[in-house]
């Protein structure tokens, strides 16, 4: 086995290394004064069954998270295959990230992306500092799952498809 050649202090090297791990992509969204606000997050992890918790990691420089975190309910949508343009729109820096996104609002202000394979109605349970990110634990209050819908997969800085064997 060859020795390790890169140091983990180089952000470009570390970002490329993290890209070796495929992940799903989520949209975390809510209404803020009647306007949809949201962001894409690929650092989604199921955490606990009792209480029902999931986590996402949010970059500390995010200008969207401060608007989302003060909402009573957040909609977390696990994006499905073919929703790469939705992901790019929600990850962008543009003024209206929702202009080309089909969405709907829940009763308590959560926002969900149409066509997602999973929708979770959540509230912030806890926030934990994690380097240049904040680990956000979200408590699940309701869900709608479509497990046969193929997920959007992000790997190596691009979107991929799962092969069925």
Mean pLDDT, residues 145-165 taken together = 85
* Domain spans of the chain, in order of start: 16-155
Whether residue 21 is predicted with pLDDT greater than 80 in this model: the reply is no
Whether residue 3 is predicted with pLDDT greater than 70 in this model: the reply is no
Tens digit of each residue's pLDDT (9 = 90 or more) over 78-103: 999 999 999 989 988 876 899 889 99
d(CA 139, CA 124): 6
Annotate 114-138 with three-state secondary structure.
CCCCEEEEEEEEEEEEECCEEEEEE
pLDDT at 1 (0 to 100): 62
**Domain range 16-155, CATH class:** mainly beta
């Amino acid at each position: 086995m060859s020795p390790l050649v890169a140091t983990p202090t180089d952000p470009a090297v570390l970002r490329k290394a993290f890209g070796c791990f495929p992940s799903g992509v989520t949209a975390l969204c809510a209404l803020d004064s009647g306007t949809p606000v949201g962001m894409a997050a690929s650092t989604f992890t199921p955490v606990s069954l009792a209480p029902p918790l999931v986590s996402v990691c949010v970059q500390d420089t995010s200008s969207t998270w401060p608007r989302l975190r003060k909402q009573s309910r957040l909609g977390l949508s696990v994006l499905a295959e073919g929703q790469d343009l939705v992901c790019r729109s929600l990850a962008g820096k543009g003024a209206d990230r929702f202009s080309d996104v089909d969405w709907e609002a829940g009763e308590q202000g959560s926002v969900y992306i149409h066509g997602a394979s999973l929708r979770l109605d959540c509230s912030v349970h806890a926030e934990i500092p994690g380097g240049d990110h904040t680990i956000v634990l979200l408590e699940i209050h309701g869900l709608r799952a479509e497990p046969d819908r193929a997920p959007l997969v992000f790997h190596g800085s691009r979107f991929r498809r799962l092969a069925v064997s």
